[in-house]
A = this chain, B = another copy of it.
Amino acid sequence: MIIDCHGHVSAPAELWAYKAKLVSHRGAHGRGKVNVTDEQILAALNKPEICAHGHLEYLDKVKTDMQLISPRPFQLMHSEKPGKLVHWFAEECHNIIYRQCQMFPNKFIGIASLPQVAGAPIEGVFPELERCIKQLGFKGCLLNPDPFENGVEEAPPLGDRYWYPLYEKLCELDVPAHIHGTSSRSERVNYSLHLINEETAAVLGLLNSAVFDDFPDLKVVVSHGGGAIPYQLGRFDAPSLRRGGTRLRDKLQLLYFDTVLYTQDALELLVKTVGPERLLFGAECPGVGSIEDPETGVLCDDLKPNVDRIEWLSEADKKMIFEDNARKVFNIT
């Protein structure tokens, strides 16, 4: 069984139109809501938008049996003001996801975003997180390390006490945080690169701090194969050798990583670096990689064959990656 732990919702245009209105009226029209029928929601899952295939068809094509779906992160606008816009939009995203999960209970599992308002106390996300977990049956949440979205101000690093109430809440709810940035206001670092940079910083921020000493049960999954960490591991490991204590390389075992990388070589480096026990299959289909490589005729994000191709992984290893780890981390029964 193939579980893609890193998927994002394909929603009707009305959801995004709702967002466009929010950032236009800035709350003056009130909360409102997204009015879409189940047919529209289904149509969105069948519409070829990001690529030549609809979402459902695409999952079949790449042989994904189950997918964890969260809001499209780059749309989450955590840096917009007033903060209620962030909340309202996240709630509507979650409602759509919930309805898709209801429609396809064996295929989709909901993952919440946190309505993080740049500069606001982290506790503000709790009500919606609890609604998602307790009422909507979601199994985890995205955690954005930079709600300022690469703006002028800077969020505290993930090792900072600012985040502790959230870690406590996640442990209490027994759900993992999936590290995933949102947008970027910078003109030189676009959002796609920003995500990668944030993941690298998140790994360092968490592992060069006392977070896992203080929250030994905290579960964190790092997106996109951990940013630059596996490739630049020596660079960040060396200082930990100087400092003594557990070396950074070994502390990676405190985290989980997903496989959202689009080359075989990168995937293999990741597996070698963190091992199958800490790896969750993720393909983010459809998404950035949903394009055919003209040389091979293969979709860039058809990642199952990439895993299969690794000869030195046992079948049990692969099963861990494809299914077991996701079930364990996200409590999927």
Question: Whole-angstrom distance between the alpha carbons of A19 and B21 in the complex?
Answer: 10
> Is there contact, CB below 8 Å, between A30 and B191?
no
Question: Whole-angstrom distance between the alpha carbons of A241 and B262 in the complex?
Answer: 13
> Is there contact, CB below 8 Å, between A24 and B191?
yes
8 Å CB interface, A59-76 against B: 72, 74-75
Q: Knowing A19-B20, A261-B231, A269-B269 touch, does A26 contact B185 (C-beta < 8 A)? A: yes
8 Å CB interface, A147-168 against B: 152, 154-157
Question: Is A291's beta carbon under 8 Å from chain B?
Answer: yes
Contact of A155 among B17, B188, B196, B230 (CB under 8 A): B188
Contact of A235 among B24, B154, B288 (CB under 8 A): B288
Contact of A20 among B16, B29, B224, B294 (CB under 8 A): B16
- Closest-CB distance, A173 to chain B (whole angstroms): 26
Q: Knowing A227-B228, A262-B237 touch, does A193 contact B200 (C-beta < 8 A)? A: yes
> Is there contact, CB below 8 Å, between A16 and B23?
no
Contacts of A184 in B (CB 8 A): 26
Contacts of A328 in B (CB 8 A): none
- Closest-CB distance, A269 to chain B (whole angstroms): 5
Contacts of A25 in B (CB 8 A): 74, 183, 190-191
Question: Whole-angstrom distance between the alpha carbons of A241 and B225 in the complex?
Answer: 21
> Is there contact, CB below 8 Å, between B236 and A225?
no
Chain A interface residue bracket vs B: 35 or more
Contact of A196 among B15, B17, B200, B224 (CB under 8 A): B200
Question: Is A38's beta carbon under 8 Å from chain B?
Answer: no
- Residue from A189, A232, A238, A291 with most neighbouring chain B CB atoms (10 Å): A232
Contact of A192 among B183, B190, B235, B291 (CB under 8 A): B235
> Is there contact, CB below 8 Å, between A17 and B13?
yes
Contact of A28 among B81, B190, B293 (CB under 8 A): B190
Question: Whole-angstrom distance between the alpha carbons of A262 and B23 in the complex?
Answer: 26
Q: Knowing A17-B13, A30-B243 touch, does A262 contact B234 (C-beta < 8 A)? A: yes
> Is there contact, CB below 8 Å, between A272 and B262?
no
Contacts of A77 in B (CB 8 A): 23-24
Contacts of A232 in B (CB 8 A): 196, 224-225, 227-228, 261, 266
Question: Whole-angstrom distance between the alpha carbons of A295 and B25 in the complex?
Answer: 28
- Closest-CB distance, A111 to chain B (whole angstroms): 18
Contacts of A290 in B (CB 8 A): 238
8 Å CB interface, A175-208 against B: 183-193, 196-197, 200-201, 204-205
Would you list the 8 A-B pairs with minimal beta carbon distance, nearest first?
Answer: A234-B262, A16-B17, A228-B228, A231-B231, A28-B190, A13-B13, A16-B20, A13-B17
9 A-B pairs in the complex with CB atoms less than 8 angstroms apart:
A13-B14, A16-B17, A25-B183, A25-B191, A192-B239, A193-B204, A228-B228, A234-B263, A241-B294
Given A25-B191, A28-B192, A241-B293, 16 more contacts at CB 8 Å?
A16-B21, A17-B20, A20-B20, A20-B23, A26-B184, A26-B190, A27-B190, A155-B188, A156-B187, A188-B205, A196-B232, A197-B228, A230-B231, A238-B262, A238-B289, A265-B273
